[in-house]
């Protein structure tokens, strides 16, 4: 089969699973051939040798498996990160969380921060690349994220500046941190998610408890108790009011909420009283 014939077939196969079936068919073929997408347009009459191999990839995507797990990598901020099943695929909204943290690190000239729930390493790797003086201690409770984050940290030569620790929240991080950043699991147990998320991505990265914000509350409590000055977290679109009420019991200078690009409440910055 030629490139244009196989793409036509794949587009049909992906119609139910994907919003942009032709685009995804092209992405998968470009990945399969290890070429740029443009190559497909310039060589549409070229015959493909391993059509069966490509079809197997398309069948996986047609069953809703995320493209990033099939290709083993995800674009995030200004980098490509390795990902695999067992690790959350980093989301574009988390780039806003990074910008919020970056602003504080710059203003306060911070040197040591912590991340809770490192996943692929997306947040820590981007921050360490932005701030050459910064050291980060990043935790996760699961082994696969720690393994994958380790690979991404090595890929960018950041082993001396990002330390990984297996820990519940910051239980195993006694150091005096200046700030904690986290994109924790924050989805409510009974929330209905799309098949490509719930059937493939790790539950430990998605669900935060019955209401969803249980882990966020525990993070606020722990960071406050430890006397850490700043906490910056991503949260669910419906968690602003409960978090606002919850922080009334803490000594804080301020809490600021921010929205994502779709206009949904998506996170907060807390500055605790010194």
d(CA 95, CA 123): 8
Structure tokens given for 60: 């996986």
Residue 252: strand pairing partners: 272
- For 30-84, the three-class secondary structure string (H helix, E strand, C coil) is HHHHCCCHHHHHHCCCCECCCHHHHHHHHHHHHCCCCHHHHHCEEEECCEEEECC
Select the residue interacting with ligand SAM from 21, 117, 236, 267 (CB under 6 A).
Answer: 117
Other beta carbons within 10 angstroms of residue 28's beta carbon come to 22
Binding mask 46-75 for ligand SAM (x = CB under 6 A): ------------------------------
Tell which positions 131-190 bind ligand SAM, by CB under 6 A.
Answer: 139-142, 145, 168-169, 183-185
Q: How far is the CB of 3 from ligand SAM (least distance, A)?
A: 34
Burial 217-245 (b: 16+ CB within 10 A, else e): bbbbebbbebebbbbbbbbbeebbebbee
Residues 258, 240: contact at Cβ < 8 Å? no
Select the residue interacting with ligand SAM from 82, 93, 204, 238 (CB under 6 A).
Answer: 204
Assess 255 for contact with ligand SAM (CB under 6 A): no
Select the residue interacting with ligand SAM from 62, 122, 125, 162 (CB under 6 A).
Answer: 122
The region of 49-57, 106-114, 115-123, 248-256 touching ligand SAM under the rule CB under 6 A is 115-123
Assess 223 for contact with ligand SAM (CB under 6 A): no
The region of 120-128, 153-161, 250-258, 263-271 touching ligand SAM under the rule CB under 6 A is 120-128
Q: What SS3 state is found at 201?
A: coil
Residues engaged in binding ligand SAM (CB under 6 A): 88, 90, 94, 116-120, 122-123, 139-142, 145, 168-169, 183-185, 204-205
């Amino acid at each position: 089969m030629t490139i244009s014939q196989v793409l036509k077939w794949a587009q049909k196969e992906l119609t139910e699973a994907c919003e942009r079936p032709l685009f995804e068919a092209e992405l998968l073929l470009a990945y399969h051939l290890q070429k740029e997408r443009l190559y497909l347009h310039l060589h549409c009459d070229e015959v493909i040798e391993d059509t069966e191999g490509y079809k197997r990839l398309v069948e996986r995507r047609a069953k809703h498996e995320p493209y990033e797990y099939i290709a083993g990598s995800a674009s995030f901020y200004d980098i490509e990160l390795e990902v695999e099943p067992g690790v959350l695929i980093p989301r574009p909204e988390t780039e806003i969380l990074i910008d919020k943290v970056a602003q504080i690190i710059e203003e306060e000239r911070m040197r040591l921060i912590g991340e809770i729930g490192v996943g692929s390493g997306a947040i820590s790797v981007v921050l360490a690349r932005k701030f050459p003086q910064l050291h980060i201690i990043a935790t996760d409770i699961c082994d696969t994220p720690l393994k994958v984050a380790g690979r991404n940290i090595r890929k960018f030569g950041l082993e001396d500046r990002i330390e990984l620790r297996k820990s519940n929240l910051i239980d195993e991080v006694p150091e005096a941190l200046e700030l904690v950043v986290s994109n924790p699991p924050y989805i409510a147990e009974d929330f209905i998610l799309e098949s490509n998320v719930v059937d493939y991505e790790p539950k430990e990265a998605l669900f935060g408890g019955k209401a969803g914000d249980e882990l966020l509350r525990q993070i606020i409590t722990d960071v406050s108790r430890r006397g850490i000055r700043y906490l910056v977290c991503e949260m669910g679109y419906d968690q602003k009011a409960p978090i606002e009420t919850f922080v009334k019991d803490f000594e804080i200078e301020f809490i600021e909420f921010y929205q994502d690009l779709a206009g949904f409440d998506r996170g907060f910055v807390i500055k605790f009283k010194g």
